[in-house]
Amino acid sequence: MHELGISRNIAAIVSEAAAGRRVRRITCEIGRLSGVIPGAISFCFDAVIKGTELEGASLEIREVEGRARCEACGSVFPVDTLSAGCACGSRRLVHIAGQELNVKSMELDEVV
């Protein structure tokens, strides 16, 4: 399950960026074409942060729809798989969204 390793990396990125401040919420974007299962990330993340300085932080996952541009006709359209084709019959696509995995934001306590 590569989601466990991804969850560990998310926790490490957030922990380093938080620089000792308490993390309340983390928002991640996961593309539907990324091969990453959002539910597995949530499950693994809860296990990974248990007993760490991130314990108690919530993880919000936003799924990003797959989108592609056809190199033959220029059409831009939603795709559900990496092997999808264009309505014009071409399979020469450039995937422009849906493969990302990003930590978008963190909500931190203020330092006083």
> 44 or 20, which is more confident?
44
The token pair at 90 is: 């071409």
Residue whose C-alpha is closest to residue 102's, from 16, 28, 3: 28
CATH numbers and ranges of domains, the chain: 2-65+98-108 (3.30.2320.50)
**Per-residue pLDDT for 82 more than 80?**
yes
- The whole-model pTM stands at 0.85
Residue 108: which region, alpha, beta or left (left: phi > 0; alpha: psi -120 to 50)?
A: beta
pLDDT in tens, 1-13: 589 999 999 999 9
pLDDT at 85 over 70: yes
Q: Give yes or no for residue 111 having a pLDDT over 80.
A: no
